[in-house]
Amino acid sequence: MATGLERIRAASDAGCRLQKEVEAFVEYVSPTKAEDEVRGLVVNLITRTVVRNFPDAKVVPFGSFETKLYLPSG
């Protein structure tokens, strides 16, 4: 399987190269299944802890976690 950089170099025109570069960037910043699962487990653990201590509380994740747009090192 070609890497993102190899696909960019293989593109013939500027528009196609830009599209390939954007696709490579999205692939780089998108979380892996494992990263997503770990973050989900952390949110679940926090939710259970909060609800155990405050039974009427409702925990609602928001922002980059909900949209799955967090960066790899975030």
25 with 37, same domain: the answer is no
Q: What pTM does this model have?
A: 0.60
pLDDT tens for the chain, residues 1 to 74: 666 666 666 667 888 888 888 988 888 888 888 988 998 999 999 999 999 999 999 999 888 878 777 776 66
| Residues 51 and 36 reside in one and the same domain | yes
Provide the 10 A C-beta neighbour count for residue 17: 15
Question: Same domain for 35 and 51?
Answer: yes
CB 24 within 8 A of CB 8: yes
Domain that includes residue 42, residue range: 31-74
- Number of domains the chain contains: 2
